[in-house]
């Protein structure tokens, strides 16, 4: 089976997570939504956890692509990580909401999904640490960025744009603020 089928399965999984929540996600339901047999789904993902872990990894790949595009436009990894909620697209928000639903299902239990989330977060962390020489500052940027995304996902009131800019300037220096 092709990677198109694999992507259709992961697209169906994301859509189900967003529309119906994790409780409705079964191998059978995802296969039906993707228009493949259960055997076809099992060819790509032998368990529900393997399928969800693949979705998490794909989310990480998409984020890396977005970060690379931002970099081509002159945006640093840290700037990308600290972008204001208004610049987070609806599609990106939907993907992160899918991931939050997955994280709720993991609930600290080790396994394939937890490993995938850890891998993705580690890659983002490595990107920040490669760019920011001080590990404490890199960690603060990561934590602030995580808070920005969480606030956007929960539809919390956005931080005033001038204050947001001052926070970024304080963390990264005036040369990093556009």
pLDDT, tens digit, 9 for 90 and up, residues 51-73: 999 998 988 888 788 778 878 88
Q: What angle do CA 82, 87, 88 make, to 5 degrees?
A: 85
Q: How many CA atoms lie within 13 A of 118 on its CB side?
A: 9
**What sections of 21-85 are H helices per DSSP?**
27-34, 38-44, 48-72, 77-81
Domains and CATH numbers, the chain: 1-46 (1.10.10.60), 48-176 (1.10.357)
Mean residue pLDDT across the chain:
84
Measured from the Cβ of residue 18, the count of other Cβ atoms closer than 10 Å reads 13
Instruction: Among 10-14, 62-66, 135-139, 166-170, name the one with the lowest average pLDDT.
Output: 62-66
Smallest CA-to-CA distance from 99 within 14, 6, 7 is with 14
**Confidence check: pLDDT of 140 > 80:** yes
**Number of Cβ atoms within 10 Å of the Cβ of 10:** 22
Backbone φ and ψ of 157, nearest 5°: -60, 135
pLDDT interval class at 1 (50, 70, 90): very low
Distance CA 95, CA 103 (A): 12
Largest CA distance in the chain: 56
pTM for this entry:
0.78
Give the closest residue to 159 by CA, choosing from 75, 92, 78, 83.
83
Distance of CA 112 to the CA centre of its chain: 16
For residue 38, the model assigns a pLDDT of 94
pLDDT value at residue 150: 82
- The predicted-structure confidence for 147-173, as pLDDT tens digits, reads as follows 888 887 777 887 888 998 899 999 998
Predicted pLDDT of residue 109: 67
Q: Is the per-residue pLDDT at 99 higher than 50?
A: yes
């Amino acid at each position: 089976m092709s990677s198109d089928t694999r992507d259709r399965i992961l697209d169906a999984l994301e859509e189900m997570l967003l529309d119906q929540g994790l409780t409705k996600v079964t191998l059978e339901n995802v296969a039906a939504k993707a228009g493949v047999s259960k055997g076809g789904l099992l060819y790509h993902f032998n368990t529900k956890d393997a399928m969800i872990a693949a979705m998490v990894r794909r989310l990480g790949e998409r984020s890396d692509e977005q970060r690379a595009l931002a970099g081509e436009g002159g945006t640093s990894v840290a700037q990308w990580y600290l972008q204001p909620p208004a610049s987070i697209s609806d599609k990106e928000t939907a993907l992160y909401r899918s991931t939050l639903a997955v994280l709720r299902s993991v609930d600290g239990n080790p396994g394939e999904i937890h490993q995938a989330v850890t891998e993705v977060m580690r890659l983002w962390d490595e990107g920040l640490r490669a760019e920011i020489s001080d590990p404490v500052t890199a960690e603060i940027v990561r934590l602030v960025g995580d808070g920005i995304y969480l606030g956007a996902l929960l539809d919390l009131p956005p931080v005033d744009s001038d204050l947001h800019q001052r926070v970024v300037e304080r963390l990264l220096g005036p040369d990093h603020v556009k």
